[in-house]
Amino acid sequence: MSYARALAIVGVVALAGWLAVIVGSGRSVPAALQAGPRRAPAPLDPLVTDIQSQAGRLHAYLNQVPAFRPPARNPFQFAARPEPLGSGARRPAVSAAAPSPTPLTPARPPLRLSGIAEDATPDGTTRTAIISGLQQLFLVKEGEEFARRFKVVKIGSDGVELVDLLDGATLTLYLR
């Protein structure tokens, strides 16, 4: 690289740096260095004007400080106690005949007789009832208990007789 070429590059870089400092500092650029004639600023668009007015209203709204309101109640203070009864006043008597709580029996779950199976044995025909309920399928014979609540009393050709062990009620299920 020749000495003249290096000097030219350094000069161009120095000129560019000088222009950057002038533009960045806020001073005006000499008229000789400005590109083209000066133009008048364009009028503001109506949309820009509307946005500026809305922004001004928003700033005014956000600068308003709400007034402090003292709390209506104190969460750490209890209500006033009722006045104590005087020495001459008697307390009202509590009735001695309070109703005794009756034990509640759970509701009877819905059961459905899904089918009846018959097996031929040397002692005779043995029937098995297929009962669905409580999200299960029960295969039961006469005399058996299931679901910890029901006992099979009799299985017929089209129905089953059950006894609820909790309340002793009889329930009959038929094939549909």
Mean pLDDT for all residues in the chain: 82
Amino acid type, 16 = A
Measured CA to CA, the distance from residue 101 to residue 96 in angstroms comes to 14
3-class state of residue 35 by DSSP: coil
pLDDT at 63: 84
> CA-based Rg of the chain, rounded to a whole angstrom?
49
6 Cα distance to chain centroid: 73
Measured CA to CA, the distance from residue 150 to residue 173 in angstroms comes to 12
pLDDT at 117: 94
Q: What is the pTM of this model?
A: 0.42
139-161 pLDDT per residue, tens = 999 999 999 999 999 999 899 99
pLDDT band at 171 (very low <50, low <70, confident <90, very high): very high
Q: What domains are defined for the chain?
A: 112-174 (2.30.30)
